[in-house]
Amino acid sequence: MVGGRVTVGFPRMHREASERRDFLPPLIGLLAANGAEIHVESGIGSGMGYTDTDYSTLSPDVHITDEDECYRQDIVVVLRAPEGRYQLLSRGAVLVSMLHFATRPARVAMLGELGIDAVSLDLIANEDGRRLVENLRSVAWNGISAAFAALERTWPDLAGPRRSTVKVTIMGAGRVGRHAVEFATKYGDDARNEAFSRLSLPGVEVVTAGRNLTGDAEYLKGRLAATDILVDATARRDPSMPVVPNPWISLLPDHAVICDLAVDPYLLDVTPRIVRGIEGIPQGDLDQWEFAPDDPAWERLPPDVSTTERRTVVSCYSWPGVRPEPCMHVYGSQLAPVLEVLVTAGGIDGVRPDGSFFERALARGSLRDWRGRPGFAATAAGAVPEGESSSEGPSRRADAD
């Protein structure tokens, strides 16, 4: 702390070239108004058209500095987990980020060894377990939009007068799946929906399959054969087993597109191992989220993963980042009351697990709380406890990041 005041660092995300998201001026100004001294990395917001002056003029307590200085503050806030930079934080600092404790046991162990008081944004939740920091609508919107854009290329008859109804199968009936239904019925995009409506083309049939149906092999294989877009929005109870084994992909029509909204990782060196919901598909990012069957990305998958059967895939670890500024307005408004509590409390030590609503939610997202949960010992050894999964959904999903 500086003179008894909490310092907060906002480093930029040095990830793929197309990652343009940074926290926006309103959030920075709010924390400065709450008495924090803020250090933001030079160039923050530049990917969305903002300048250093847009931040520095907010308050005399907002300082433009470099990456290392941002990481030296009492509290460090960065949206995506800062791989390769954890050692830049001071011992006892609070790192607020999408850290996904459930499927990153090595990360959890490292944070403990470095003495970092971490808070995982994907675990900040109310008493019912509903996440307070998420952008699931954008996960569905951007992913389904990308799927229909790909389908226009793989199925030229999509805009033709004699084609049949477009058939979309959504695996998963949680919040991401429900948003996906909304966007799929509109071809993923208002402009495309209006254009196809003017042509009087048949619409979109959307079938949502929850666990009772995705677990029925004969039903699911029959459905795949009639599917133009297959959407994975599952939050699996057992991430060691795929919902769609790779050989089943052959049942899809040749023009079909697989839309990956779950974006689970391949973690084959943990016990039990974690595989993707649709076996053998690549995982994308903001630099590339569409993969044709002959894309080199398929060859870069772990050798133990079967990739024999292929279709065009759209997948992005950071779907909300496709539209960066709307995404960061959402995250900023959701994070504002949480960070206000953290700043006012002087760090995680001052946050009461039985305190106000946002104190309790913040405490639930802390590494301290995670370490005290039943099943933590198994997770630390590489397992995923019952009810948890890999990235972001009700408790996880890659939006996240």
Same domain, 315 and 360: no
Number of domains making up the chain: 2
Same domain, 176 and 239: yes
**What confidence score (pLDDT) does residue 396 get?**
41
* CB of 209 closer than 8 Å to CB of 169: yes
Share above pLDDT 90 across residues of the chain, in percent, rounded to a whole number: 83
pLDDT, tens only, 189-244: 999 999 999 999 999 999 999 999 999 999 999 999 999 999 999 988 888 999 99
Contacts of 17-20 with CB under 8 Å at 24 or more apart are 17/287, 18/285, 18/286, 18/287, 18/321, 19/47, 19/80, 19/285, 19/286, 19/318, 19/321, 20/47, 20/48, 20/286, 20/321, 20/324
Q: State yes or no: pLDDT of 57 exceeds 70.
A: yes
Same domain, 339 and 371: yes
Same domain, 25 and 68: yes
pLDDT, tens only, 262-307: 988 888 888 888 899 999 999 999 999 999 999 999 999 999 999 9
Same domain, 179 and 278: yes
Tokens representing 68 are: 């290392």
Q: What is the pTM of this model?
A: 0.86
**What confidence score (pLDDT) does residue 374 get?**
75
Whether 241 is covered by a domain: the verdict is yes
What CATH number does the domain containing 341 carry?
3.40.50.720
Helix runs in 240-344, H state only:
324-344
Assign 390 a pLDDT band (cuts: 50, 70, 90): very low
Whether 219 is covered by a domain: the verdict is yes
pLDDT, tens only, 13-43: 998 999 999 999 999 999 999 999 999 999 9
Query: In sequence order, what E strands does 340-388 have?
Result: none
Same domain, 330 and 315: no
Same domain, 344 and 372: yes
What is the rounded end-to-end Cα distance, in angstroms, of the chain? 29
How many other C-beta atoms can be found within 10 angstroms of the C-beta atom of residue 48?
15
